[in-house]
Amino acid sequence: MQVVAVVGQSSEPVRTYIEETGLPFDILIDKSRAVIKTYGVWHAFGLSAWNIAKPALFLIDRSGAIRYSFVANSQREFPSHADVVKAIDTMLTADR
């Protein structure tokens, strides 16, 4: 299993965050926001600098199929830890 985060922002703040937190997974920079637009989580806010991605989580299997998705309605909404663990367990069990 591989964990990767995708963010639609410039790389310098992300690099600083990784260095400060020691994040145990990769973060991909989507500066053009092509990936976040493709996954439907782009949130146009008005000014270009304020355009953001909604918090989202996708579990994608080896074939590229989305097996679980969560897309928030606000920047403070996230899936529960229990829901994520259950979705991962379900995906791993199905892949055996």
28-58 pLDDT, tens per residue?
888 888 998 898 888 776 665 556 778 889 9
Question: Is pTM beyond 0.85 here?
Answer: no
Distances (CA, A) of 42 to 15, 25, 46, 61, 72: 22, 23, 12, 22, 11
Enclosing domain of residue 81: 4-94
Q: Residue with structure tokens 């199929």?
A: 65
Confirm if 67 and 60 have CB atoms less than 8 A apart: yes
Q: Which CATH number belongs to the domain containing residue 71 in this structure?
A: 3.40.30.10
pLDDT at 86: 93
pLDDT higher than threshold 60 for residue 92: yes
Average pLDDT of every residue of the chain: 84
pLDDT at 50: 58
